[in-house]
Amino acid sequence: MMTRIRPARKNDAALLSAVERSAAQRFRMVPGHEGVAKGSTLGEAVHLRCIRAGTCWVAVDEHDAPIGFLSAEAVAERDLHIHETSVDEAFQGSGIGRALLDAAIEGAVTHHLAALTLTTFRDVPWNAPFYRRIGFKLLAMSGLDERLSMLLRKEVEEGFAEATRCAMRLPLDHAKTNFRV
Ligand SMILES: CC(C)(COP(=O)(O)OP(=O)(O)OC[C@H]1O[C@@H](n2cnc3c(N)ncnc32)[C@H](O)[C@@H]1OP(=O)(O)O)[C@@H](O)C(=O)NCCC(=O)NCCS
């Protein structure tokens, strides 16, 4: 199937929760993380904010319908924080997630940002290990800025086990020499 990545448009926003729910089904088979498959989604309002800012990208099928997305937001004109990356369960494992990441890295360079940040699961193969291969560094809990430590605290309040979560950062000088777009 032909897939292409493009900036998301306003009318994509309502379609992204279904993609996120489908993507999360991957967690049904992960011991200890089965609950993620039934978790809440990012919500249309957040997607719309990211779309307005030009920092939401979608992977679309041949009918221009979203089958994957990456929604992110610039913080303090410094970091592009990735709220969520999701690829419909039926299309996972064929390079779409990596292509969305490449688009976000290119977008962050275009927006003159210093880094990308995110929070994720430490030990799920397509989470921290995947981001590490792209060049994201695991941040020590003791060295986190207020924003990222608050975000991790909120995730724990919402039910994630503290030890399973981490924050990561990709400095863009490094990314410029690595991304594949
Ligand atoms: C994470 C996600 C967006 C990746 O999208 P994708 O299209 O499946 O990913 P890709 O095919 O581009 O593969 C991305 C990397 O994950 C690895 N990967 C994919 N599936 C894997 C699996 N089942 N086990 C181990 N590694 C896997 C690939 O090897 C690849 O790494 P590489 O580029 O270094 O070779 C997708 O798996 C997803 O939606 N997962 C559920 C939601 C989620 O976890 N989102 C991330 C929140 S931080």
Residues 86-96 pLDDT 10s: 999 999 999 99
Residues 111, 8: Cα–Cα separation, whole Å: 16
pLDDT band at 175 (very low <50, low <70, confident <90, very high): low
| Ligand 1 site, residue 127, Cβ cutoff 6 A | yes
pLDDT of 181: 43
> At 59, phi and psi to the nearest 5?
-95, 130
Element containing residue 100 per DSSP (H, E): helix 96-110
pLDDT digits (tens, 9 = 90+) for 8-38: 999 999 999 999 999 999 999 999 899 899 8
Please give the domain boundaries of the chain with CATH numbers for all domains.
4-176 (3.40.630.30)
Give the ligand 1 atom nearest the CA of 92. 8
Distance from residue 129's CA to the centre of ligand 1 (Å) = 10
Burial of residue 179 (number of CB atoms within 10 Å: 0-12, 13-18, 19+): buried
Cα 141 to ligand 1 centre (Å): 24
105 is written with which tokens?
């890295």
Atom number, ligand 1, closest to the C-alpha of residue 120: 48
